[in-house]
């Protein structure tokens, strides 16, 4: 037996459906609307943040007054800490301080850069640069354990330079066997002859001291 449904019955069934599930439908619509609104708000907010940070960064680069320059730097790195311009400012200042032989000041900048670029929503490239510089400066200051801590994140797929830095830090704490392993890994990954020669020299020095 075939049941024939009239147009009127079909319309009524649709009306009944919306009556029965109106709360759920409204909830879904609300969630979608909030999601879309949140996305556009976040996008707009980020865009405004980046533009504001860009202006402050450019002003900071050309500022001649030291006090004003410091005010701009603090504003940029604190209020806009998640932007690329804040990262660039910390990277530049950290590098400049290192060139001036102010290693402690430079270390502070790179630690701040690491903190600002860390985490799931951070910048892995900038974070890697920060960690490498922290390790390099810490080793120069004799803070070998600090260098090992900051490099601990890179336990796999390390590049040659990270292996070399770990070797330097391990040598500093007296773990010569582990240092030798790191130098050997660096030697295998380095393609540059000059860098390979430097690592070979470090390996020879370890063997002599054993």
Nearest-10 crossing angle of helices 7-20, 22-62 = 60
pLDDT (mean) for 47-68: 90
The string of pLDDT tens digits covering residues 36-54 is: 655 454 555 567 888 899 9
Measured CA to CA in angstroms, residue 83 lies from 94, 126, 151 at distances of 17, 11, 24
Residue 144: band (very low, low, confident or very high) from pLDDT cuts 50, 70, 90: very high
Q: What pTM, to 2 d.p., does this model score? A: 0.75
- % pLDDT > 70, the chain: 75
Per-residue pLDDT at 93 exceeds 60: yes
pLDDT at 23: 61
Measured CA to CA in angstroms, residue 174 lies from 6, 59, 143, 203, 204 at distances of 89, 47, 13, 14, 15
Nearest to 135 by CA among 101, 162, 100, 174: 162
Burial class (CB in 10 A: 0-12, 13-18, 19+), 193: exposed
Residue 181: band (very low, low, confident or very high) from pLDDT cuts 50, 70, 90: very high
pLDDT (mean) for 20-45: 58
Distance CA 183, CA 161 (A): 9
User: Which phi and psi (to 5°) does residue 199 adopt?
Assistant: -65, -40
Core vs surface per residue 87-101: b (16+ CB within 10 A) or e = bbbbbebbeebbeee
Judged by DSSP in three states, 192 sits in coil
Residue 59: band (very low, low, confident or very high) from pLDDT cuts 50, 70, 90: very high
Judged by DSSP in three states, 142 sits in coil
State the chain's mean pLDDT as an integer.
84
pLDDT (mean) for 1-29: 57
């Amino acid at each position: 037996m075939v049941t024939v449904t009239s147009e009127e019955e079909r319309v009524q069934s649709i009306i009944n459906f919306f009556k029965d599930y109106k709360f759920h439908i409204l909830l879904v619509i609300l969630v979608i609307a909030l999601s879309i609104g949140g996305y556009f708000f976040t996008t707009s907010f980020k865009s405004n943040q980046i533009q504001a940070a860009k202006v402050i960064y450019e002003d900071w680069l050309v500022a001649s007054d030291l006090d004003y320059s410091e005010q701009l730097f603090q504003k940029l790195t604190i209020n806009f800490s998640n932007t690329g311009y804040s990262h660039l400012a910390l990277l530049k200042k950290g590098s400049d301080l290192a060139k001036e032989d102010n290693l402690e000041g430079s270390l502070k900048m790179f630690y701040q850069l690491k903190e600002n670029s860390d985490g799931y929503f951070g910048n892995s490239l900038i974070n890697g640069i920060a960690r490498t510089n922290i390790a390099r400066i810490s080793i120069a200051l004799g803070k070998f354990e600090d260098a090992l801590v900051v490099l601990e994140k890179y336990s796999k797929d390390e590049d040659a330079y990270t292996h070399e830095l770990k070797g330097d830090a391990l040598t500093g704490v007296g773990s010569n066997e582990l240092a030798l392993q790191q130098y050997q890994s660096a030697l295998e990954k380095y393609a540059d002859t000059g860098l390979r020669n430097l690592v070979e020299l470090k390996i020879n020095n370890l063997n002599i001291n054993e």
